[in-house]
Amino acid sequence: MADRQHAAELVVRATQLAQNLPHDYELREPKARLIARLEAERHRPWYRKRAAKLTALAGGVVLVAGVLATGVTLGWFGSTTVTETTASQTNADNTVTTRYDEPNANQQAETPDYGREQLLAELPDQSKLLQKGNRIVLLATNQETELLRLGTNEHTGAVTKDDVVLLFVGGDSSREGERIYKFNSTSRTLQILPTGGNVMNVAVWKPDRTYVVLTLLSRTERQSEGGAGQELVLTTLAYEWETLTPTVLDTAQGAPGQMQANGKWLVSTAGNEVRVRNSIDGEWRLLTQEMNDAIEPGQRYVAGNNLYFLTGRPYDFMNPELKEMPDAPRVQQLDLLTGELRETLPDVPGEQNVIGAWFGQEMKLAFDLLITNFRPSGRSADALGRMQQLGQFTLYGLDSRGIHVLYQGESTRQEAFYAFWNDGKTLVRTQSQNPERPGLTLIYDEQQQKFVSGPLPANHPLAQGKAVRQ
């Protein structure tokens, strides 16, 4: 320590000495030489002064011309090669005539969207679709949980599994017979989801490999003493994916934010009752009353076989004083298999050190918890805090590798998917909601105090040499 202090003093002293070196009198001669040179420069003709720039300009022009000439030549050869194959015949006098046809107009037509024709052929109600004049662009992706709007709002598609698409056809309230289809482009099968009414609108909340949870706005006929009428009903349904068996969730509340599906678990909240349903035995289990009392409605998240939830007062980002209060939120973990309840330790790496929370009907991250657990350093917390001030994070997924979120800034251009990796320092910017398809990997640099590009985290499938689903 003493050595370091001495070194610091010596650096200061040496710097002070350097402030006057070389002395001004030593610089007189170089300065005089420079002024003489400047005088000489003043009298040089302009083209000599700019000789270097002119040479560079000429070089640039030659380079561009060369590139253009090469491109034109290659293009000419390419077009000749194609057209020569179209027609060539040997005449009677042994001369060869080559006919250069114009490209076929059909070949230039727009390539149909993937699966469009197939879907139109297999949809039972295609005449209706065609009458509406809507163009179906079938989503040819393998990304999970993607919610797309097709054209106008009249068609909604959601990709839920590989090559499987949920397609909602409808939206026109004056028409009947709107349906939700499950289309499997691999097996080329189309199934209609039982909805129990005429669906007017649909929101896909939690597409999952086991369940898909939908909120349906449907119209049903109502018979009463005053006569027949129509009633609009908002229903939340969880469909078991393979059998398409619907389970009605929370009809009374009808709030889509009140249920979750994750893996084989369905979690539903009605009032203060939290019920979980295991898809294996199909039974609903009611959590104990004291557990129900402890859980703030809506603030929980399922990951693996664990249910995480917040206890205590809900977070209020606008009121930082809440952090200091004794009943500040704590993260609790309930093992759904064993029923064991324990409080998570923020500094233990793994899936239990992160949690998503629900706030009303919107999914948002309990950001303070995220910061506390994502990175122990205060600096990255500041950086994330700044991001949070600028935009909003929407939780998309949580697993043992980290949190996957959609970041939405002030404008749509600032939308990006991120994965906060559980190694504690990596923020992966992904190309989509699928964290296995990374776009840009960012690592927090302590010295620069910002995220810089870096390698993939060690536990990333690509870093481990595993193939990522395409």
Partner 1 sequence: MREQTADAFRELVNAYYGDVYRYVQGTVGAGLAERLTADALVQASQQFVTYRGEVGYKVWLLAAVHQQVHSGWRQLWRKRKLEQVAVPVQDVQNAQEPLRAEQQSLDERERHLLCTELEQAMAKLPVKARCAYVLRHVLGLSVAETGIILLLTDGKVRTLEEQALDLLQREFEGRNVRWQIDNMQQSS
Give me the least distance between CB of 393 and partner 1, in Å please: 24
Beta bridge partners of 235: 216
Structure tokens at 305: 């076989």
Is there a contact between 315 and 368 (Cβ–Cβ < 8 Å)?
yes
Query: Nearer to partner 1 by C-beta: 24 or 242?
Result: 24
Q: Is 424 helix (H, G, I), strand (E, B) or coil?
A: coil
Give me the least distance between CB of 184 and partner 1, in Å please: 53
Give me the least distance between CB of 295 and partner 1, in Å please: 43
Give me the least distance between CB of 38 and partner 1, in Å please: 6
Query: Nearer to partner 1 by C-beta: 16 or 95?
Result: 16
Give me the least distance between CB of 30 and partner 1, in Å please: 5
Burial class from Cβ neighbours inside 10 Å (0-12, 13-18, 19+) for residue 55 reads exposed
Query: Nearer to partner 1 by C-beta: 309 or 444?
Result: 444
For residue 425, what are the contacts with CB-CB under 8 A and spacing of at least 6? 375, 380, 443, 444
Which helix (H) or strand (E) is 428 found in, with range? strand 426-430
Query: Nearer to partner 1 by C-beta: 174 or 448?
Result: 448
Q: What are phi and psi of 27, to 5 degrees?
A: -95, 0
Give CA–CA dist 73/58, Å, rounded. 22
Give me the least distance between CB of 386 and partner 1, in Å please: 12
Q: Which of 415, 420, 381 is nearest to 398 (CA)?
A: 420
For residue 470, what are the contacts with CB-CB under 8 A and spacing of at least 6? 142
Query: Nearer to partner 1 by C-beta: 4 or 280?
Result: 4
Q: Which of 290, 318, 314 is nearest to 300 (CA)?
A: 314
Q: What are phi and psi of 381, to 5 degrees?
A: -60, -40
For residue 325, what are the contacts with CB-CB under 8 A and spacing of at least 6? 313
Beta bridge partners of 342: 333
Query: Nearer to partner 1 by C-beta: 41 or 231?
Result: 41
Give me the least distance between CB of 406 and partner 1, in Å please: 28
Query: Nearer to partner 1 by C-beta: 1 or 92?
Result: 1
Distance (Å) of CA 421 to CA 116, 256, 373, 446: 37, 28, 11, 17
Give me the least distance between CB of 5 and partner 1, in Å please: 9
Q: Is the dihedral of CA 194, 197, 200, 206 positive or negative?
A: negative
Give CA–CA dist 142/432, Å, rounded. 11
Query: Nearer to partner 1 by C-beta: 46 or 243?
Result: 46
Structure tokens at 160: 């839920």
Distance (Å) of CA 234 to CA 216, 221, 414: 6, 14, 33
Give me the least distance between CB of 424 and partner 1, in Å please: 22
Is there a contact between 83 and 100 (Cβ–Cβ < 8 Å)?
yes
How far is CA 277 from its chain centroid? 28
Query: Nearer to partner 1 by C-beta: 26 or 102?
Result: 26
Footprint of partner 1 on this chain (CB under 8 A)?
3-4, 6-8, 10-11, 13-15, 17-19, 21-22, 24, 26-27, 29-31, 33-35, 37-38, 41-42, 49, 447-449
Give CA–CA dist 15/10, Å, rounded. 8
Give me the least distance between CB of 296 and partner 1, in Å please: 39
Q: CA torsion, points 387, 393, 397, 398, in degrees to nearest 10? A: 50
Query: Nearer to partner 1 by C-beta: 53 or 413?
Result: 53
Query: Nearer to partner 1 by C-beta: 248 or 452?
Result: 452
Give CA–CA dist 270/280, Å, rounded. 22
Query: Nearer to partner 1 by C-beta: 139 or 384?
Result: 384
Give me the least distance between CB of 42 and partner 1, in Å please: 5
Give me the least distance between CB of 16 and partner 1, in Å please: 9
